[in-house]
Amino acid sequence: DDELVRAVHRIMSHADEVRRMAVRANADTGEDSARARRFGAQGVGLCRTEHMFLGERRSLVEDLVLATSAEERERALAALEPLQREDFTKIFQAMEGMPVTIRLIDPPLHEFLPDYTELSVKVAVAGDAAEEKDRALLAALKRLHEENPMLGLRGVRLGLVIPGVFAMQVRAIAAAAKAVPGSRPEIMIPLVAAVQELEHVKDETRRILEETGVDALIGTMIEVPRAALTAGQIAEAAQFFSFGTNDLTQMTWGFSRDDVEAAFFSKYLELGVFGVSPFETLDRDGVGGLVEIAVERGRATRPDLKLGICGEHGGDPDSIHFCHQAGLDYVSCSPFRVPVARLEAARATLVCGGSDTR
Ligand code: PEP
Ligand code: MG
């Protein structure tokens, strides 16, 4: 009833006054962003742009990946750009001047391409009557086939190998930011493992931003162990870090994030290796250790480095507590977890203190 609602609001606003860390939400659409605001999010910490290419747009991505000439590639990119501009405009409108971290495309490529086995059967059955497009697709799939796509052509690697994709996205972000005055875009490069990758993409991104006269932060995900260890170098080229603890957990433990129910998990629980899955609660000794190393080395290079987390752990109370202690500036989680994150960030401030944690 009304009284209860008022009491909840009082508690939440008290928590907001107390907490040191900001709370953002992971949101991929204008609708998600509006929902995140209703739950009290102070920005978008992760917009996963690859989700924008599923559904009807899949065929455009196929065209792009399968393009055999610069013209074909340009045509596919030109078809995607206005759609992207529209996507970003809606998010900026919903967020009304709050920071919005847009991650450049990070697809496990196989999710966008037709199934190799299915297509090869189709072409084999059709024999001489097989369609030309199917034959071309099959040949390209053979070329791009990976035994382990999660460790393959993803994230920044895709941007380095397929020219123009990242630039198209950055142009769309810049145009959307211009269309919505007051927007605060933060452009994030995924799956970086070495500063050279980041430098290459950052320089191109900066050039486009300068040409369009748009101001945006440029930063990176820290989700590969090597990125955490070389955070001092990476911070030379990044204005912010966001910890991608889903991939970081996968790569630190060597557990597949897609098979978390794997048979050996119960054995690990039995042995007391962990009490809860490390994909749910940040493993303080392992993944947490890498986070602390990256915070320390990153800030040693760039004292004003902005630090956040956008893996699933950003919505888990125990992990939020850890993030506060590690000196992060914000956590980002699913919109529905934002209220819990606001409360836990406040609790962590009360228990550990606010400004002296870093
Ligand atoms: C992560 O790896 O933690 C992350 C946020 O990125 P994604 O889950 O999209 O790989
Ligand atoms: Mg990731």
Tens digits of residue pLDDT in 214-244? 999 999 999 999 999 999 999 999 999 999 9
Q: What does the DSSP 8-state code read for residue 204? A: H
- What's the pLDDT score for residue 62? 81
Among the residue ranges 162-166, 182-186, 240-244, 313-317, the one predicted with the least confidence is 162-166
What integer best gives the mean pLDDT of the chain?
A: 93
Nearest CA to ligand 1 atom 4: 244
Ligand 1 centroid from CA 128, angstroms: 43
Q: How far is the CA of 93 from the centre of ligand 2 (A)?
A: 26
Are 193 and 224 spatial neighbours (Cβ–Cβ below 8 Å)?
A: yes
Cα 265 off chain centre by: 26
The per-residue pLDDT for range 244-290, each reduced to its tens digit, is 999 999 999 998 888 876 778 888 889 999 999 999 999 999 999 99
Ligand in nearest proximity to the CA of 243: 1
Share of the chain above pLDDT 70, in %: 98
Residue nearest to atom 8 of ligand 1 (CA): 246
Mutate which of 51, 223, 331 for ligand 1? The one with the most ligand atoms within 8 Å of its CB, which is 223
Stretch 309-331: mean pLDDT: 98
Whether residue 162 has pLDDT greater than 70: yes
Structure tokens that stand for 102 in this block: 């847009």
CA of 224 to the centre of ligand 2 (A): 9
> In angstroms, what CA-CA distances link 161 with 52, 153, 155?
20, 8, 10
What is the rounded distance in angstroms from the CA atom of residue 39 to the CA atom of residue 33?
A: 10
Question: How many angstroms does the Cα of residue 3 sit away from the middle of ligand 2?
Answer: 42
pLDDT band at residue 169 under the 50/70/90 scheme: very high
Nearest one of 95, 36, 45 to 311, comparing CA atoms: 45
Q: Which two tokens stand for residue 304?
A: 């004003």
Distance CA 224, CA 244 (A): 8
**Between the CA of residue 136 and those of 65, 72, 127, 140, what are the distances in Å?**
12, 14, 14, 6
Q: Pocket around ligand 1: residues whose beta carbon is below 6 Å from it?
A: 46, 48, 106, 223, 244-247, 310-311
Q: Alpha-carbon distance 213 to 215, whole Å?
A: 7
| Contact (CB, 8 A) for 92 and 76 | no
Residue 353 has pLDDT above 90, yes or no: no
Q: Is 171 helix (H, G, I), strand (E, B) or coil?
A: helix
Angle at Cα 340 formed by Cα 335 and Cα 344, nearest 5°?
135
| pLDDT grade for 355, boundaries at 50, 70 and 90 | low
Least confident of 159-168, 243-252, 338-347: 159-168
- From residue 84, give the alpha-carbon distance in Å to each of 137, 173, 267, 325: 25, 8, 45, 37
- C-alpha to C-alpha distance for 222 and 113, rounded to whole angstroms: 27
pLDDT surpassing 60 at residue 180 = yes
Pocket test for ligand 1, best of 24, 48, 157 (most atoms within 8 A of CB): 48
Q: Which ligand is nearest to the CA of 192?
A: 2
Reported as a pLDDT band with limits 50, 70 and 90, residue 143 is: confident
Question: Up-side HSE of residue 127: CA atoms within 13 Å toward CB?
Answer: 1
Q: 271: burial class by Cβ within 10 Å (0-12, 13-18, 19+)? A: exposed
**161 compared with 95, residue with greater pLDDT:** 95
For residue 263 the two structure tokens come to: 């048979």
Residues 6 or more apart in contact with residue 305 via CB below 8 angstroms: 235, 238, 239, 240, 241, 298, 299
Distance CA 341, CA 101 (A): 18
Q: What pLDDT is attached to residue 163?
A: 84
pLDDT band at 57 (very low <50, low <70, confident <90, very high): confident
pLDDT of 263 reads: 72
Host H or E run for residue 62: helix 58-66
Q: CA–CA separation, 36 vs 17, rounded Å?
A: 19
Is 46 strand, coil or helix? strand
Q: Render pLDDT for 59-101 as a digit per residue (tens, 0 to 9).
A: 888 888 788 889 999 999 999 999 999 999 999 999 999 999 9
Structure tokens belonging to residue 283: 């493993």
> Which residues, including other chains, have CB under 8 Å from residue 6's CB and lie 6 or more apart?
none
Q: What is residue 357's predicted lDDT score, i.e. its pLDDT?
A: 45
Residue nearest to atom 6 of ligand 1 (CA): 244
Extract the tokens encoding 180.
Answer: 């919505």
47 CA → ligand 1 middle, Å: 11
